[in-house]
Amino acid sequence: MINALPEQVAAIRRFSRFYTRRIGAMDAAYLGGPYVLAEVRALYEIAHADGVTPKALAELTGLDPGYLSRILGRFDRDGLTLRQRSAQDGRSVTLRLTDRGRQVFGELQMRSDGLVEDLIAPLPDKARARLTAAMAGIEQLMAAPARSEIILRQHRAGDMGWVIWRHAVTYARDFGYDGRFEAMVARIAADFIEGFDPMRERCWIAEREGEIVGSVFLAKGDGDEAKLRLFLIEASVRGRGLGKRLVAECVAFARSAGYGGINLWTQSNLIAARAVYAGAGFALIESRPHRQWGPDLVGETWRLRF
């Protein structure tokens, strides 16, 4: 399980306080009317359903059934709703708005639209577009399953920029590698693209919900061996077996392409990656200290023979 960072939790709570304050969600009279936000939400769902049971309404709104019952009692007293016996289940009722209920809801809808228009009116057109796109992104992310599917695909235009950027940022942040490491990754990526042989080489890009979360390359090496290169898994998806999947793809492709084995060069401090290599059958054959991107580094050569 990947826990949210404290600063992420704080940022979300800060935004929640900001937004609920701006739209008046905590006001005793939401939108200047006699009803609080929860009541307006219940009224909205009734208005947009062709008859809804109290149980279904509780599921739609997420409101506690006891609290919802008190809200519906108020709607009854105010003449906003009409209860009818359900045709499917005589033990249940369906809720619909009365003429007065539709009038009250229509007035609240107009006030809600006006509130939003007032909020965004000072913004220029481009800022409004950014705002609505950001909100759509939040909705999509929050509605997505916590463990959405990760797909593997071959590389396409723009992917090499991501590979270089994420390697540089990740290894500088986590291990203190300097700019020479980024330069090396850029050279590997450039060489791969310029000399790409689709029959003997492959790049896999891991994607989740349209976002790249990992990569691995299999390139031509010396003799009958291929090279496994630029293996990276984003922290947000670690622990889900993605590393094993990517390395397994490399091994399967190398076999089908007629290679006699695979070798790779990694660093002794990349513990998680080394575990994946060992699990796939690679063996450590050489260790040698170096200072290519920083002090106290130990490069390791691993090999898998078929």
Query: Using one digit for the tens of pLDDT, what is the confidence trace for 268-290?
Result: 999 999 999 999 999 999 999 99
**pLDDT: which is higher, 32 or 250:** 250
Q: Which residues are CB-neighbours of 95 under 8 A, at least 6 positions away?
A: 46, 51, 52, 53, 54, 57, 72, 81, 82, 83
**pLDDT: which is higher, 140 or 286:** 286
| pLDDT score, position 90 | 61
- Residue 248 sits at φ, ψ, to 5 deg, of -60, -40
Is residue 236 within 8 Å of residue 207, measured between CB atoms? no
Residue 26: pLDDT band (50, 70, 90) is confident
Q: Which residues are CB-neighbours of 172 under 8 A, at least 6 positions away?
A: 178, 181, 182
Compute how many other C-beta atoms are within 10 angstroms of the C-beta atom of residue 155: 19
Query: CA 43, CA 38: separation in Å to the nearest integer?
Result: 9
| pLDDT score, position 3 | 57
Mean of pLDDT values over 129-147: 79
Label each residue of the chain as H, E or C. Answer: CCCCCHHHHHHHHHHHHHHHHHCCCCCCCHHHCCCCHHHHHHHHHHHCCCCECHHHHHHHHCCCHHHHHHHHHHHHHCCCEEEEECCCCCCCEEEEECHHHHHHHHHHHHHHHHHHHHHHCCCCHHHHHHHHHHHHHHHHHHHCCCCCCEEEEECCCCHHHHHHHHHHHHHHHHHCCCHHHHHHHHHHHHHHHHCCCCCCCEEEEEEECCEEEEEEEEEECCCCEEEEEEEEECHHHCCCCHHHHHHHHHHHHHHHCCCCEEEEEEECCCHHHHHHHHHCCCEEEEEEEECCCCCCEEEEEEEEEC
% of the chain beyond a pLDDT of 70: 95
CATH number, span 150-305: 3.40.630.30
Cα dist. 143→11, 136, 137, 146, 292 in Å? 19, 11, 10, 9, 44
Query: CA 249, CA 153: separation in Å to the nearest integer?
Result: 11
Mean of pLDDT values over 197-204: 96
| pLDDT score, position 141 | 75
Mean of pLDDT values over 222-238: 94
* CATH 3.30.1330.40 fits domain 6-143: no
Query: What are the sequence ranges of the domains in the chain?
Result: 6-143, 150-305
Residue 1: pLDDT band (50, 70, 90) is very low
Q: Does the structure show a pLDDT above 50 at 14?
A: yes
Mean of pLDDT values over 148-169: 94
| pLDDT score, position 197 | 96
| pLDDT score, position 263 | 98
User: Average pLDDT over the chain, rounded to whole?
Assistant: 90
Q: Which amino acid is at 71?
A: I
**pLDDT: which is higher, 91 or 171:** 171
Of 212, 248, 250, residue with least CA distance to 229: 250
Mean of pLDDT values over 117-136: 90
Query: CA 13, CA 235: separation in Å to the nearest integer?
Result: 23
